[in-house]
Structure 1
Amino acid sequence: MIETGLLITKQNRLLSIAAILDVFETVNKFYTNAGQENPFNITLLNTRDDEYSLMGYECECIDDTAPKDLVLIPAFNTDNIQQAIYENHEFLPWIINQYKTGAEIATFCTGAFLLGATGLLNGKVATTHVDACNGFASAFPAIKLKADKTVTEDGRLYTSGGATSTFHLLLHLIQKYCGADKAVRTAKFFAIDMDRDSQSYFSTFQPFHNHHDELVASAQQKIESNYGDSCTIEEIIKDIPASRRNIVRRFKQVTGITPIEYLQHTRIAAAKKLLEQTDKQMTEVIYTSGYNDPKAFRKIFRKSVGMTPTEYREKFQVS
């Protein structure tokens, strides 16, 4: 039996916890109905020795629980991830110790931030919610972020992308512990597409403005106001009274990306909106978004989004 610990973190996303429990309970039921031993013994864990129950489970304090084979970290339900990490700092040494004694650690969506804070992911690949990737890369530069990936595995450490990517990591774990047939059966039970390995097309560019760097704010304003002009980043920010090197350094320090990456994200976001909400011809979408080379646009769009502009329109256009 696989001793499985699900962390009940502060500021957790209840939907994440419920999804994890629902899938593992369903797999256990497959075995129960076949007269076999359940593969997963699930324990809810927190850092306080107080009363807590969820879906029929009593919660144990991490200081009192037996060692685990598999530790699961759910998503956070907050925009202030750094505050969430601070509130859950008591978990960090316990997670490190569990890993050192042989446990596998799996994180779901923004739960990857808590694992990142342990240092265990340094030098390893990871993913997280697609809209949290810039913050993750800024907070943990030593981690090899794979922003487009739905699921990653590296040295007994697993991460998943946002929301429904939780189910893809759960299927991955079920296949590892229970075999492909149980993973397929679970996928059919929950109507999960097993072949999705990219989350790029779910990305929504959300510019970070909650800072007090006037130079960076000026550069952001110029990019967001002039992205539709087919000009270079140098032309857009040429009137800002600072050297290009200084602008780039401060811009990346504040936003997590360079000005040229910010311009590209802004243009792709504009193109996606046009594809979703209008019937404009593709050439008009391309030029309105600030590109003058259709071939280059399609290449950049596919790299950023994970599909062609036409495929994106067919998938997401509002009828």
Structure 2
Amino acid sequence: MLQIGILLPRQYKLLSLAAILDVFETVNKIYNQKDQLAPFEITLLYATKTTSAMEDALFGYPTKSISDNAALNLILVPSFTTDNLREAVEENHEYLPWLNQQYHTGAEIASFCTGAFLLGASGLLDGKIATTHVDACKEFAAAFPAVNLCPDKTVTRDGRMYTSGGATSTFHLLLHLLEIHCGIAIAVRAAKIFAIDMGRDKQAYFSTFQPSRNHHDDLVATAQQKIETSYHDTGTIEEMIKDIPSSRRNIVRRFKLVTGITPIEYLQQTRIEAAKKLLEQTGQQMNEIIFHSGYNDPKAFRKIFRKTVGMTPSEYREKFNVIK
């Protein structure tokens, strides 16, 4: 029987925890219905004793403090509820040496969505591939440069370390773990029970361009505003920011320092985000969408769209258009 420990960090997302418990409990029931031994024994783990109830059970599952040093085969880290991920990691620093100890005694460790930030802080992902929620990738990369981040991946595995992307990617990692520990037949059965598309391995098309505004550089803010109001013009970036009283070199340097990308990349991201909204919310012809997004070369538009989003404009419309 596989000994599974699920962390209960401060600010954990209940939905993430519920999904993990539901999938493993469902598989246990499948085995029980066949009069077979359930493959998983699940324990919920906490770092500091908070209430006497925590010492006994939570949601019907046994709980233990990590100070008990129980031997575990698989440790799961759910997602966080907060957008302040640095704070979440600081509040859960007690788990970091324990995670290292468990890993070095042979445990597998998997994180879901933004739970990857806790693994990143542990150092266990250094030099390994990983992913997290697509909209948290920029922050993750800045915080943990030693990790080989794969923003487009739904699931990653590097040795005994696993990570998943945002929200429903949790189920794809759970299926992957089921396939490893129970076989493909059980993984397929679980996929059918939970209506999970097993073929999805990318998450780029769930991303939303969210430009940074949390800065105090008025010159960069002006450049951002000009790009966002003039992106549909087919002019060059130089034309869009020509009235800003600064040299092009200075603007580019300060822009990238503040936003993490160049003005040209910012323009492309803004245009692609505009095209995505038109594909989602209108019935406009593709040529109209290309024009209204600021492009005049359909071939170039399709190339940039596919590179940025991970699928063609037509595939994106088929998946997300709300007026079908």
CA contact (8 A) 1:137 1:256 kept: no
In the other structure, the counterpart of 1:85 is 89
Partner Cα separation in structure 2 for residue 123 and residue 234 of structure 1: 39
Aligned length: 319
Partner Cα separation in structure 1 for residue 238 and residue 116 of structure 2: 36
In the other structure, the counterpart of 2:309 is 305
Do residues 263 (structure 1) and 267 (structure 2) align? yes
In the other structure, the counterpart of 1:96 is 100
Do residues 19 (structure 1) and 41 (structure 2) align? no
Partner Cα separation in structure 2 for residue 281 and residue 170 of structure 1: 40
Partner Cα separation in structure 2 for residue 247 and residue 138 of structure 1: 22
In the other structure, the counterpart of 1:205 is 209
* SS of match in other structure, 1:171: helix
Partner Cα separation in structure 2 for residue 128 and residue 256 of structure 1: 18
In the other structure, the counterpart of 2:295 is 291
In the other structure, the counterpart of 1:254 is 258
Letter in 2 for 1:203: S
TM-aligned CA distance change 1:102 to 1:313, over 3 Å: same
In the other structure, the counterpart of 1:46 is 46
Partner Cα separation in structure 1 for residue 153 and residue 202 of structure 2: 5
Residues 201-221 of structure 1, C-alpha deviations (whole Å, 9 max, x = no match): 111112221222323322322
Residues 179-210 of structure 1, C-alpha deviations (whole Å, 9 max, x = no match): 10110111111111111111121111122212
Partner Cα separation in structure 1 for residue 103 and residue 322 of structure 2: 46
| Larger CA deviation: 257-266 vs 308-317 | 257-266
Q: Which runs of 4+ in 1 moved over 6 A?
A: none
Stretches of structure 1 lacking an aligned partner (at least 5 in a row): none
Do residues 124 (structure 1) and 128 (structure 2) align? yes
* SS of match in other structure, 1:300: helix
Following superposition, the deviation at residue 262 of structure 1 comes to 2.0
CA contact (8 A) 2:278 2:284 kept: yes
Following superposition, the deviation at residue 263 of structure 1 comes to 1.8
Partner Cα separation in structure 2 for residue 89 and residue 113 of structure 1: 11
Residues 156-191 of structure 1, C-alpha deviations (whole Å, 9 max, x = no match): 111111111100000000000111011011111111
| Larger CA deviation: 114-123 vs 245-254 | 245-254
In the other structure, the counterpart of 1:33 is 33
* SS of match in other structure, 2:68: coil
CA contact (8 A) 2:42 2:62 kept: no
| Larger CA deviation: 105-114 vs 94-103 | 94-103
| Larger CA deviation: 236-245 vs 178-187 | 236-245
Partner Cα separation in structure 1 for residue 4 and residue 261 of structure 2: 37
Within a 5 Å distance, the mapping from 1:271-290 to structure 2 comes to: 271-290=275-294
TM-aligned CA distance change 1:279 to 1:227, over 3 Å: same
Do residues 224 (structure 1) and 228 (structure 2) align? yes
* SS of match in other structure, 1:63: helix
CA contact (8 A) 1:134 1:257 kept: no
Partner Cα separation in structure 2 for residue 249 and residue 97 of structure 1: 43
* SS of match in other structure, 1:42: strand
Partner Cα separation in structure 2 for residue 118 and residue 245 of structure 1: 39
Residues 49-96 of structure 1, C-alpha deviations (whole Å, 9 max, x = no match): 233343212421111131221110101111111111111111111112
Partner Cα separation in structure 2 for residue 67 and residue 248 of structure 1: 53
* SS of match in other structure, 1:41: strand
Partner Cα separation in structure 2 for residue 138 and residue 238 of structure 1: 31
Partner Cα separation in structure 2 for residue 28 and residue 37 of structure 1: 8
Do residues 165 (structure 1) and 169 (structure 2) align? yes
CA contact (8 A) 1:127 1:161 kept: yes
| Larger CA deviation: 256-265 vs 170-179 | 256-265
Letter in 2 for 1:26: T
Do residues 178 (structure 1) and 182 (structure 2) align? yes
Following superposition, the deviation at residue 145 of structure 1 comes to 1.7
TM-score (norm 1): 0.94
% identity of equivalent residues: 69
